[in-house]
Structure 1
Amino acid sequence: MEKRGRVKRHSCQICQASFTRNAYLKRHLQTHSGEKPFSCEICGTAFLRKSTLNSHIRTHTGEKPFSCDVCAFSFSQKSTLKTHMRTHISETLYSSDGVCRSFPPSLMDVKEKPHSCQTCGSSFAVISALKRHMQTHSGEKPHHCEACGSSFSDISNLRKHLITHSSEKLHSCEVCGSSFSVKSALIRHVRIHTGEKPHSCKTCGAAFAEVSYLKRHMLTHSGVKPFFCELCQSSFSDKSAMIKHMRRHTGEKPYCCELCGSAFSYSSVLKNHMRTHTGEKPFSCEICGSSFSLNSSMVKHMRTHTGEKPYCCELCGSSFIDKSGMIKHVRTHTGEKPYSCELCGSSFSQSSSLQIHMRRHTGEKPFSCQECGSSFKAKSHLKMHLRTHTGEKPYNCDLCGSSFSQSSTLKKHMAAHTKDKPQFSEMR
């Protein structure tokens, strides 16, 4: 006999669904009417249920109240924590009495991963997760943003993206003033300044600023590389890496600067380029306060303080603070001059030398003196010229104390000292 509490007396006249309580029926009817009585005060998004609104609010506050007892990762929703716990199933989590000592009792229903990907072998506990995963292989992105046309494989990512179109950016960076629609984006941005990398690989210790970077890195340990380049047979662990690689062959540059029209193969390069327009320099040297638009530039600068020169020439042992400096130096040994002038055939070891040379043909002199109006082909020539106005003489003779405005003049002067020295045969 069916229990009294299980009888579904309340039916929907639209779709015939039935419910045990009238309150459940009322809530269900809102799915037909489109009524969404619970609105977010921050971005205006409306929801059918208050619990859904509460979960949504966490995308603004960054609150993650559900923590994993195994690895301390935290999540904004309990369902996401349950899904995450399945990643620990392969570990030895049970004691001799068969009781799970790592998971709380409410999460002990996460043992099996019966749904497997036939492409790469990954397995999942629920079929919906497998379907989402399959989109990483197919490239399918069924969820589209009506505002800008961007597409996403997961609807949750589309929802996060939609917030970027909101005019309100309530979360500001105290270091550089950049503002963000959601607090989580601000937290990730601040790591650019602090250098914090809270997500670590348990296999090799590599640390990352974002968990998505860690997940991508973990594939390098699995050895699985299901994506192949049809042109050179290079293999990749994820499809996005293969797509980026293909641009080396095709020359495609899909990311364009709206200010100057420059095009780039990668979004990260466009992001770096934009700083040349905005003047943003988020990377600061803790020693002297110099700021830089690129993290790599700051790392290189730091070596001027530490004296570190990690790149060594195998031919003469000279060391350099960056790889490009070493490559330029090696050409002094090999005589290689890969940069050629299309007009006269002259070749150069450095691209900057070719650029200066081309100005001989064009007559261009882009560097002007603000004192007298003289113009020069190279910035270094302007720098030397300015010393005629300032009287600066930065090159000093260690033997007699004379100072000079140019290094070449100091070299000539030093030769005079060498000539004045008595030869060894004269001293006998």
Structure 2
Amino acid sequence: MKKSTKTDTKEKPYSCEVCGSSFKSKKNLAIHMRIHTGEKPYSCEICGVSFTQKPHLLQHMRTHTGEKPYSCEVCDFSFINKNKLIVHMRTHTGEKPYSCEVCGSSFAIKSNLVSHMRTHTGEKPYSCEVCSSSFARKNYLVNHMRTHTGEKPYSCEVCGSSFREKYYVFVHMRIHTGEKPYSCEVCGSSFRHKQYMLVHMRIHTGEKPYSCEICGSSFSNRKDFTIHMRTHTGEKPYSCEVCGSSFTNKTDLRIHLRTHTGEKPYSCEICGSSFTQKQHIVQHMRTHTGEKPYTCDVCDSSFTQKQHMVQHMRKHTREKPYICDVCDSSFTLKKTMLKHMQTHTLTL
């Protein structure tokens, strides 16, 4: 250790020989030196974590005792240290003292600015050792690693569902509370998640940002696009444990499982008929209401189901998409072709 010979000698006379940092007291320099030596003399007797400074250990102990001595006077939230309270207060004041020199975005926390800057630099310093994916923030890597380990440490106290990230529990709870804080300004529909509302808005704007490079089909959300791509790749990642049938998406598997369980969760309030799928009860209700929303542009015939109208249109177009593999006869309906195939079976 040596005294600084720079102009700040009177204010910070003690300098670090390793990095040049200067300090007002010999004690502060000694604490700083632990960064270089790796010394952590203060250890937690409960979990064994060690620290370079005693105040840091005292703060850590509050994670075990649950003590939160710093309280917000506005909303009664409490915190284990003063710095967290200061940062929290900015949610009330709107203060964002850390600004990006590139785009002008401002942040309440310095670490958020540091992470944001990586969107400009492209830096992703946190890498996954399993699949080599890289991330701009350490917590993104931590959350990603759970896709490999299967760990879901955050659980819903109501139904027991578990999640990889704490935020997802927060959003999930709205299923139980019924809260839908995000509303569409066009039609008034409300949503549990902001992202759901943004995707919904594309119904009104007509935006379909996800396009298939193979067939040109476009989609308003990434999920539908991903499922569509499986029609080209043939991938069916969701398999039935009972009969082995596989499906392109989880919803189709869930519906299929009802053929094994016999579950029919959608019931008609008029006649008591029950159905495995919501769309089936919607179609069934038209037998009671007389509604026929699908109309033929040629002859004005109307139908309760879109598929029935498509089949009807073939009378006008003379399209016969179903072809017999044996004699090349063609048919407008699949069931008619199957019945025809039996004539060959009988002949054989």
TM-score, scaled relative to structure 1: 0.53
**1:26-41 paired onto structure 2 within 5 Å:** none
Counterpart check, 1:201 vs 2:100: yes
What is the identity, as a one-letter code, of the residue corresponding to 2:179?
Answer: E
Task: Compute the RMSD of aligned alpha carbons.
Answer: 4.3
1:286/1:114 CA distance change after superposition, 3 Å: farther
Displacement after TM superposition at 1:332 (Å): 2.3
Match of 2:304 among 405, 408, 415: 405
What SS does the corresponding residue of 1:342 show, helix, strand or coil? Answer: coil
User: Deviation of residue 256 (structure 1)?
Assistant: 1.1
Shift of 1:356: 1.1
Structure 1: give runs of 5+ residues left out of the alignment: 1-108, 118-122, 152-157, 172-181, 192-196, 421-428
Give the letter for the 2:231 counterpart: T
Find the counterpart in structure 1 of residue 288 from structure 2. Answer: 389
CA gap 1:241/1:418 in 2 versus in 1, 3 angstroms:
closer
Instruction: Please give the per-residue CA displacement for 1:300-348, whole angstroms capped at 9, x wherever unaligned.
Output: 0111111111110101111111111112222223332222212212122
> How far does residue 240 in structure 1 lie from its aligned partner after superposition?
3.2
What is the aligned residue count?
Answer: 277
1:283 to 178, 182, 196: 182
Query: Do 1:115 and 1:124's aligned partners in 2 also have CA atoms closer than 8 Å?
Result: no
Assess, with a 3 A threshold, how the Cα gap between structure 1 residues 222 and 326 changes in structure 2: closer, same or farther: closer
Q: Percent identity?
A: 48
Q: Is the 8 A contact 1:115 1:130 kept in 2?
A: no
Structure 2 distance, partners of 1:401, 1:130, is 86
Give the direction of change, closer, same or farther, for the CA distance of 1:259–1:201 in structure 2 (3 Å limit).
Answer: same
Q: Output the CA distance in 2 between the equivalents of 1:340 and 1:232.
A: 24
Residue 269 (structure 1) shift: 0.9
Specify the alignment match of 2:227 in structure 1.
Answer: 328
Q: Is the 1:356–1:378 contact (alpha carbons within 8 Å) kept by the matching residues of 2?
A: yes
Cα deviation for residue 407 of structure 1 reads: 0.6
Unaligned runs of 5+ in 2: 1-10, 41-48, 78-84, 320-348
Q: Pick from 245, 252, 258: which aligns with 1:359?
A: 258
Report matched runs for 1:3-402 at 5 Å.
Answer: 142=57, 143-144=59-60, 149=65, 159-160=69-70, 163=71, 169=75, 188=91, 201-204=100-103, 213-219=112-118, 221=121, 223=123, 225=125, 229-232=128-131, 238-402=137-301
Letter in 2 for 1:270: V
Using the TM superposition, give the Cα deviation of residue 159 of structure 1 relative to its aligned residue in structure 2, in angstroms.
Answer: 4.7
Residue 361 of structure 1 and its aligned partner are, at CA, apart by 0.9
In structure 2, C-alpha distance between the alignment counterparts of 1:229 and 1:199, rounded to whole Å: 29
Change (3 A) 1:190 1:380: farther
Return the alpha-carbon distance in structure 2 between the equivalents of residues 124 and 381 of structure 1. Answer: 75
Q: Secondary structure at the match of 2:297?
A: coil
Deviations 1:106-150 (A, max 9, x none): xxx99xx97999xxxxx8999789999x99xx8967425869855
Q: 1:211, 1:284 → 2: CA distance?
A: 32
| Cα displacement (A) at 1:202 | 2.6
Deviation at 1:381, TM superposition (A): 1.1
> Could you tell me how far apart the structure 2 residues matched to 1:366 and 1:378 are?
8
Distance, in Å, in 1 between the alignment partners of 2:285 and 2:276 is 14
Taking the aligned partners of 1:233 and 1:210, their CA distance within structure 2 comes to 29
2:158 is aligned with what amino acid? L
Contact 2:135 2:141 (C-alpha < 8 Å) held by counterparts: yes
Partner SS for 2:285 = helix
2:310 alignment partner, SS class: helix
CA distance in 2, matches of 1:329, 1:392: 31
Offset of residue 379 of structure 1: 1.3
Q: Deviations over 1:12-35 (max 9, x none)?
A: xxxxxxxxxxxxxxxxxxxxxxxx
Alpha-carbon distance in structure 2 between the residues aligned to 1:249 and 1:213: 26
Following TM superposition, by how much is the alpha carbon of 1:251 offset from its aligned partner in structure 2, in angstroms? 1.7
Q: Structure 2 CA distance, aligned partners of 1:255 and 1:320?
A: 32
Equivalent residues of 2:124, 2:137 under 8 A apart: no
Whole-Å separation in 2 of the counterparts to 1:322 and 1:398: 31
| Matched residue, 1:72 | none
Tell me the SS of whatever aligns to 2:207.
coil
Cα pair distance change 1:254/1:275, threshold 3 Å: same
Going from structure 1 to structure 2, the CA distance change for 1:224 and 1:405 (only over 3 Å counts) comes to: closer
Cα distance in 2 between the residues matched to 1:402 and 1:376? 27
Structure 1 residues 159 and 131 mapped into 2: Cα distance closer, same or farther (>3 Å)?
A: farther
Deviations 1:357-392 (A, max 9, x none): 111111111112222221111111111112222222
CA contact 2:107–2:113 (8 Å) conserved in 1: yes
